[in-house]
Structure 1
Amino acid sequence: MPAENDNVGIAGLPYFTPAHLQSPGSAISLSKDTPTIFTPLKIRDVTLRNRILVAPMCQYSTANSGPQIGALTDYHITTLGHYALKGASLVFIEATGVQPNGRISPWCPGLWDDAQIPGVKRVADFIKSQGALAGIQLAHAGRKGSTVPAWISAKLKQKSTRATADVGGWPENVVGPMGGEDETWDGKGSAADGGFYPPRALSTQELKQMVQDWAASAKRAVEAGIDVIEIHAAHGYLLHQFLSPITNRRTDEYGGSFENRSRLLIEIIEAVRAVIPETMPLFLRVSSTEWMEETDLAKELGSWDVESTIKIAKQLPALGVDLLDVSSGANHPQQRIEMFNSADYQTKIASRIRRELKADGKNLLIGAVGLITEALQAKDIVEKAGTAEDAEKSLGEEASAAVKMTDAKGDKEPMADVVLIARQFMREPEWVLRVAHQLGVDVAWPVQFLRVRFPKL
């Protein structure tokens, strides 16, 4: 008969959750034939059990007012915890505001106040109890702030909708590098059909405070038990707005030259790195290009492009950044690509950046977003997988793409060191386990799910 203590729980939690026999999603045994994507990766003092990460995904599911404003809830444990339970190696908490007006919407999470630490800690504790690492993406939305959740805009048949003060918005405190009606993201200013508020320009003094607020949020993340911090400088949010010569035409120390436009980002990286443990990895997400090169605006002002990203990337190792998370776009409505309808649009860029850094002797890991786009050649899985046979074929394509991107066998250079998956995890939280099965990799499952484990191929 089994002894009562055979079912060991995770120590340090106020509730019981069983310790898994082996961390879910990790290869039962490693050999020279194990695909790189299912091999561990050590970054500073933490180790990923595989190379599949859950990218930050906005959920717009925190309180928009009151004492629980911006605090993570049981909803976040349910969603993010499930990804960890089913084998993802690192699960990121979505874009989290370092200031109240740094949120995308009033319903986005924040970490500008100590009262928000316990919610993050509960989520991080559960993620880690399942053998995964807990990450958080610190962010400031800048001129894209004070909007409503995407599903409300969709119901209203709008791309974006302003969040008014009566629902917790901050119409008078949307900020950016530049101010005025012409600086509104969609170019519509205060027009009734606009989806964004006109920003006001941040002062130099406010930017100095901004740097300190990023550092303070990072310290709170450490206190909450977070393993990895990512700085969000992509997708048209504040740091991207400062990097781009299209959205940053300031004439002070934070605008003009490449060095000046990069100043705020570098000061934030330095401030965050100074307050987190030496053992903690620091990631940076960038839009590698804003896809504006062929526009009249870019021909007049320049734009943030792949060459700009490579230039900043070469500075990152010395600043203490461990991984560059390569995304693209979303800083201007005139961008010349529809990202979700273009095959392998980001993975090839990630590969180029990785090659150039290696040629320059720079030690920086590269993360690629867009695996599913590459795998399905821009066909959405839900649309393509009309039958069980189609779904299995699609999954095989995804698995092959994952191997192609990260494989480092022999003399082969991978396109990236890790892959970050977003939408597909929302469809299939068990995606890691399914991909492993497709690749013939025997990985550990959660102990509670062993009875339904896929049979070995």
Structure 2
Amino acid sequence: MFDKLFSPFTVKDMELKNRVVLPAMGTKFSGKTRNVTPTLIDYHVARVRGGSGLNIVEVCSIHTPSAPKGYLSISEDMYIPGLQRLTEAIHKAGGKAGLQLWQGSLAVGMDPDAQILLASDMEMSPGVTLPGISGEMIEEIIASYGKAAGRAVKAGFDCVEFHCAHNYLPHSFLSGGINHRTDEYGGSFENRAKFPLACIWAIRANIPEGMPLFMRIDAHDDYLENGLTIEDVITFCKLAKEAGVDVLDISRGNILTAGLKYEVPPVDIPHGFNIANAARIRRETGMTTIGVGRINTPELAEKILEEDQVDLVVIGRAQLADPEFCNKAKAGKTEEINYCVGCNQGCYDGFENKESLHITCLRNPAVGREAECKIVPTKKPEKVLIAGGGIAGLEAAIILKQRGHSPILCEASDRLGGQFLTAGEAPRKEEMKKAVISMGKKAERIGVDIRINTKVTGEMIQEMKPHTVINAIGAQPVIPPIPGVEQDFVIDSHAVLNGKSTGTGNIVVIGGGMVGMEVAEYLAEKGAKVTVLEMMKEFCADMGSTRKICVTENIRAAGITPVTEVKVTEIKKGVVIGEKHGDTVEFPCDAAVIAVGARKRDGSELKEACDRIGCGYFEVGDAVKARRAINATREAFDIAMLLD
């Protein structure tokens, strides 16, 4: 099945078993070091065994003073042994290994000890400007690329990739939107191209002729004045080909503008959004090309390849969500794949969080814990009662059943899915709805005892006498004590998204967090004129940066009016009254929607019943505290793995 996707492909002396590329995604698996760790090895081996054709190891620093902690480095010989252990493990598992050579420019600023190298002077804040690098430093970096490439050969990599995108240093030199130099490395396109071309020549001179050299490059610059056009990129790719590049890896995005949304595109961005660009660049350069951009189903990957748009496809976050993605797709078991939903909660939002140890995944809590999270049969099967059929309850039930326990999943409503299903009703979030429906079908398929319209009570627990009870009953909308909130024209956001309440005409949404903005979009799509009131100085404050960019843009496009720093004080018939900067403000409306958050449901009856009969009791997800879905799946998974 998917014959084109799983057909072999050869680039110079490197033979790939299929056309699937695991891209160089940052992981933080090196911890506070810059070395390969067993965690990183386990992560890559799991995906090679899962069928990945080529694993490109994440951004790897080529220059010691500018190498940030927590990222791999190949800037010194001392890093070769660790990288060699990684390539040996990948090869032993049947895969091929590439290494991405990287100088991060502004992005290394996450480590205060790393030297920030810029293509030209950049104002960081009023009165503070960082200088562009000197000609002497340019030569040092070029030489560092060459030496790093030589070390990659010694470490056993099958190919190397030159990172010339995402406003890292080579891209920053190439782009007129970033490079404002006035010397021989700035100004004209030819001058701006000198530095990245010199880096390519240095890399090519230090690797064997038969070793493929990849280049990751943006199709064009997004939201960047005087940035690269696709015509500029095509011209440069032709020059890069002459300098020794064999394969183009066509990406998008930069960290200076809203173009960030294309680097790790969330659910809001269409599938395959960058393929047309890659196809054009391939057509006009005649080069082997990799397509990138939310390719997370085998059907889409096969279609792109069958249409001869690109030669290889990046399937990245889809292999985070399910390391067995390739094997399942090849075997035709597409219903068994745990699909990426583009939430960005673990792979990017967590990566931005300085407190986060490493990336993870809402759909796959085992990311970064591959060795310790292998599903092994229990030696003592037990009856486990799960209260709540949302994403946490389903995750627990599936893992427990796979381990040989006997989970009984009870859902008080007439459908599985909980708040994740509700979230899937919001604009552009259909994938989330599909994912949780698929989880329900999987639980049923593998034999979980599912009982809908069944509320777990203390009496049920006493009669059933399970070994363990998992409380996954979730949260319910908070209804604040605002005078007038009890009126009929005041409705809650969950009721709106679930289709139980509707609003037309002028609608005021009270609460400008993620749920408030999503319900605002939902209502605007149905023709309502929507105003959103938020107490804080900004709306969407609880969203990760990439989703926030997308939702903000869509809010503006939909004509929704967000008003910040408003405290709602009263709701009267036809008007919401608030206070802003000490003044009274009024917002006429036909309906008001409450979207100020959620509060955990009371599970005290369940806990007390468990205490009476001496059975185990755990709370997971929103039953602990209303949070993000990634917390729910992680806790449910861990508890299901904990039971012996």
**TM > 0.5 between the two?**
yes
Amino acid at match of 1:267: A
1:366 equivalent in structure 2: 289
1:425-436 to structure 2, matched below 5 A, reads: 425-436=319-330
Q: What residue in structure 1 maps to residue 303 of structure 2? A: 404
- How far, CA to CA, are the matches of 1:91 and 1:101 in structure 2? 27
| SS of equivalent residue, structure 2 residue 187 | coil
Q: Which position in structure 2 is the counterpart of 1:179? A: 121
Separation in structure 2 between the aligned mates of residue 335 and residue 63 of structure 1, nearest angstrom: 28
Compare relative contact order (CA 8 Å, sep 6+) and give the higher one, 1 or 2. 1
Report the counterpart of residue 78 of structure 2 in structure 1. Answer: 115
Contact in 1 for aligned 2:254/2:260 (Cα 8 Å): no
- Any idea what the Cα deviations from partners look like across 1:133-176, whole Å, max 9, x if unmatched? 111000000122130xxxxxxxxxxxxxxx33xxxx23xx3110
Q: Give the secondary structure class of the aligned counterpart of 2:60.
A: strand
Whether 1:277 and 2:171 are equivalent positions in the alignment is no
Residue of structure 1 in register with 2:318 after alignment: 424
Write the letter of the residue equivalent to 1:55: P
Which one of 33, 39, 49 corresponds to residue 85 of structure 1? 49
Shift of 1:330: 1.0
Q: What is the aligned partner in structure 2 of residue 145 from structure 1? A: 108
- Flag structure 1 segments of 5+ consecutive residues without an equivalent: 1-32, 148-162, 192-197, 376-397, 408-412, 441-448, 453-457
1:359-398 mapped onto 2 (5 Å cutoff): 362=286, 364-372=287-295, 398=297
In structure 2, give the amino acid aligned to 1:90: L
Q: CA deviation at 1:102?
A: 3.7
Task: Provide the residue aligned with 1:94 in structure 2.
Answer: 58
Cα shift readout 1:29-60 (whole Å, capped 9, x = no counterpart): xxxx9622111111111101000010001012
CA contact (8 A) 1:241 1:331 kept: no
SS in structure 1 of the partner of residue 100 of structure 2: strand
SS at match of 1:314: helix
Asked if residue 356 in structure 1 is aligned to residue 279 in structure 2, the reply is: no
Indicate the structure (1 or 2) with the bigger Cα radius of gyration: 2
Q: Which residue of 1 aligns with 2:233?
A: 309
- Tell whether the 8 Å contact from 1:329 to 1:335 is kept in structure 2 after alignment: yes
Work out the CA distance in 2 between the residues paired with 1:116 and 1:189.
39
- Asked if the contact 2:223–2:257 (Cα under 8 Å) also holds between the matched residues in 1, the reply is no
Residues paired across the two proteins, number: 333
Whole-Å Cα distance in 2 between the matches of residues 85 and 50 of structure 1?
13
Map 1:321-340 onto structure 2 (within 5 A).
Answer: 321-335=245-259, 339-340=265-266
Give the 3 Å change call, closer, same or farther, for CA 246–220 of structure 1 in structure 2. same
1:280-332, CA deviations, whole angstroms, 9 ceiling, x for partnerless residues? 00000001112126xxxx2xxx2112111111122233222111000011142
Give secondary structure in 1 for the equivalent of 2:5. helix
Pairing 1:38–2:6 present: yes
Q: 1:288 aligns with which of 219, 227, 242?
A: 219
- Answering whether residue 289 of structure 2 is matched by residue 347 of structure 1, we say no
Find the residue that maps to 1:95 and give its secondary structure: strand
Q: Does structure 2 conserve the Cα–Cα contact (< 8 Å) formed by 1:174 and 1:200?
A: no
What letter matches 1:123 in structure 2? Answer: L
Tell me the alpha carbon deviations over residues 180-209 of structure 1, each in whole angstroms, 9 at most, x when there is no partner.
4x1x4xxx4689xxxxxx643110111011
Counterparts of 1:280 and 1:125 in 2: how far apart (Å)? 17
Aligned counterparts of 2:91 and 2:130: Cα–Cα separation in 1:
39
Q: Secondary structure of 1:309's partner?
A: helix
**Structure 2: 5+ residue runs without aligned partners?**
335-374, 376-401, 403-644
Q: Distance in 1 between matches of 2:66 and 2:92?
A: 30
Q: Using a 3 Å threshold, how does the CA distance of structure 1 residues 100 and 60 change in structure 2: closer, same or farther?
A: farther
Partner of 2:20: 52
Q: Tell me the distance in 2 between the aligned counterparts of 1:254 and 1:314.
A: 19
* 1:435, distance to aligned residue in structure 2 (A): 1.7
Matching residue's letter, 2:299: S
Which amino acid letter does the alignment assign opposite residue 328 of structure 2? R
Partner of 1:216: 147
CA distance in 2, matches of 1:245, 1:426: 35
Distance 1:107 1:335 in 2: 25
- Confirm or deny that 1:414 pairs with 2:308: yes
Name whichever structure is richer in strand by fraction: 2
Q: Distance in 2 between matches of 1:281 and 1:262?
A: 21
Aligned partners of 2:97, 2:143: CA distance in 1, in Å?
A: 23
Q: Supply the distance in 1 between the matched residues of 2:164 and 2:260 (Cα, whole angstroms).
A: 20
Match of 1:378 in 2: none
Q: 1:419 to 1:102 in 2, by over 3 A?
A: farther
Cα distance in 2, alignment partners of residues 307 and 438 from structure 1: 40
Q: Which letter does structure 1 place at the counterpart of 2:253?
A: G
1:34–1:292 CA distance, 2 compared to 1 (3 A): closer
Percent of aligned positions that are identical: 28
Change in CA separation of 1:122 and 1:249 when aligned onto 2, cut-off 3 Å: same
Q: Secondary structure at the match of 2:319?
A: helix
Quick one: distance in 2 between partners of 1:322 and 1:213? 21
User: Is 1:227 the equivalent of 2:158?
Assistant: yes
Structure 2: how far apart are the matches of 1:63 and 1:146?
A: 17
The one-letter code of the counterpart of 1:324 is: L
